[in-house]
Amino acid sequence: MIKLDSLDRWMHLKKGEVLTLAGNAPRRIRLQVNSPKRSSLFIVNGDGELAFLAAPDGRDVVEFAAGGDVRLTTDDDDVYVYTAENEPTYTIIPDAVIFTKIAERSARNPDLEHMMYLQQVNLDRRLAALQGDIQRQVNEAYEAGTRVANTQPAGATAPKDDAGQSGQDANGSASTESTGQAPSLEISSAGQNPPAGHPAPAGEPAAQ
């Protein structure tokens, strides 16, 4: 099947004529060729010299990459070419009727503008008062902590731990309650009976 699409897009490239494909950046060019026989295509450089490009046969496609302007010519009169390089990217419509209109922004109500200004001023005042209250609370807490640290006596008793151990008291002597031992008791043996089965000490009468 030979597919030609729209015949209006095909250009007749005659012998000696030059087809210029304008461009700037390097790009891939797809050139469709249609001719009744094998024909040669050439690239024309800036000096007018010819450089062989390809020899398509009948309905064929020539694809290559190039940058800048590309000038093509052929050695046959019956060559038709088509490429998207020469397709228009936009369409100009003379004396076009425009049905759209850009809407202009209407002015605000002056009373509404004044009310919004007052609301903003009131909001700024409340934020400033809140910031001052927070700073005052921080300063009071700092001053309270400083007073507590300064009023603590230098010889205060160290706190006891759960094991019953503590440091020394205010006079520097160890507390008997913190050693974990019972205090020693001195019991006089005068006037008391000795334990059963034990004789009375010498010089003391035996209990009746």
Please report the DSSP string for 68-136 in residue order.
S-EEEEES-SSEEEEEGGGS-SS---TTPPP---PPPPPPPPHHHHHHHHHHHHHHHHHHHHHHHHHHH
Q: How do the domains of the chain map onto residue ranges?
A: 7-86, 110-148
| pTM, full prediction | 0.41
Give the pLDDT of residue 177.
Answer: 42
Give the pLDDT of residue 52.
Answer: 92
Contact 21, 64 (CB under 8 A): no
In this structure, the number of other CB atoms found within 10 A of the CB of residue 166 comes to: 16
CATH of region 7-86: 2.60.120
- Decide if pLDDT at 190 tops 60: no
Give the pLDDT of residue 184.
Answer: 44
**116 against 153, higher pLDDT:** 116
> Which burial class, exposed, middle or buried, applies to 59 when counting CB atoms under 10 A from its CB (0-12, 13-18, 19+)?
middle
Contact 78, 36 (CB under 8 A): yes
